[in-house]
Chains A and B, each alone.
Chain A
């Protein structure tokens, strides 16, 4: 099993939000801490929305590459169901096609977009699922034409949004250009300190259980990319919130190549905002390297 480690900009975003490091300084940090030199950009750092600026995009690519870094993937969020409801199917499809173009222009391999989208009041699962299939049927030939692989990002989410739904979508579409991007978060058991509540979805039922590891195993053949969400590290450099040893043992048996995007999230106000995100992200890199051998 061949593995590559990539650092998601989410890991180091606290620097941007507090203004303590410039974008260039963050790139320099990634180049220092990640021997694999891969980086993942989220939409906050990409000149798109509401108009994509192609010149800025190409400048961004050059700037990142000047630090010896490779752009591995981009992450964009669209509430697919809500957006279709408000602006229509064509609008959403065109939006996703624009993301594909942005990813292709940056020379990245993957475009990630979360499954997270709540059912409208009264909407049945089948209707939502059918809408997703229709959207992906439109997008996949376009992604293939531009050689961009779409990853459906799913963590410990709510209602119908989970890696199980993503896996079903990927199997039903049956294209190498539609894959799952399971987030370790889906295998986290919420605790009193870190409950299963999420910032954007107050009022939802709290999740109390992690998904079975069998689901993780089933995702692996369809998951060239995985989000290695890390929240805290103990004194031995282990992540106590997930069954990491069991997950990594399954990964080592996997027949396909995987890229792990580190999403260190301990910097948020609810966890450990006082810790240096770069130091903690490096612990995540070391953890993966240790397990992957």
Chain B
């Protein structure tokens, strides 16, 4: 296992774009999303290793039940992620973070902060070990 404190290569890990979408094709925007690439040093892993995702848009925290992790067109509400052991996120594979929001997100530049707690080794002699945390931030433009 690698030494150090950072378990990912930060540069290029999230996109600079926010995209509004009409996922159910009813003519109304209902979600917006951005992309995230798996640049963790030990990249290939089950989604369950992602124990928690916190997302803030312009400083406001989004409720977990509105956030979806989408990989290979499979949608997972982030509250379910820790229990997923049979779907893997591959080395530098692109996934998307979707946020449910009627009307999408307002055009312009938004500050996006995503914090991902990742835990491959949950146990140790003292109990449950603290999770290494990935913290990404970007000014994203709607397109």
Within 8 A of B (CB), among A170-199: 185, 194-199
Q: Do B91 and A198 touch (CB < 8 A)? A: no
Q: Can you report 10 A-B residue pairs in the complex whose CB atoms are below 8 A from each other?
A: A50-B86, A82-B122, A119-B125, A121-B123, A121-B124, A197-B3, A197-B5, A199-B7, A268-B4, A268-B41
Interface centre among A49, A194, A199, A204 (most CB of B within 10 A): A199
- The residues of B with any CB-CB pair to A shorter than 8 Å are 1-12, 37, 39, 41-44, 46, 85-88, 90-92, 120-127, 129-132
Establish whether residues B123 and A196, one from each chain, have CB atoms under 8 Å apart when the complex forms: no
Q: Which residues of A contact B42 (CB under 8 A)?
A: 44, 77, 200
9-residue interface stretch from A15-23, A63-71, A216-224:
A15-23
| Residue A281 CB within 8 A of the other chain | no
- Mark each residue of chain A from 114 to 134: 1 if its CB lies under 8 Å from any CB of chain B, else 0: 101111110000000000000
Cβ-neighbour of B1 out of A85, A201, A271 (below 8 A): A201
Q: What is the total number of residues of chain A having a CB less than 8 Å from a CB of chain B?
A: 47
Q: Residue A8 at the B interface, CB < 8 A?
A: no
From A16, A121, A197, give the contact of B126 (CB < 8 A): A121
* Minimum Cβ distance to chain A for residue B92 (Å): 6
Give Cα A85 to B130, complex, Å: 19
Known: A118-B125, A196-B3, A204-B124. A44 touches B9 (CB 8 A): no
Q: A44-B90, A199-B41, A202-B129 are in contact. List 4 more A-B contacts (CB 8 A).
A: A44-B42, A82-B122, A195-B3, A269-B4
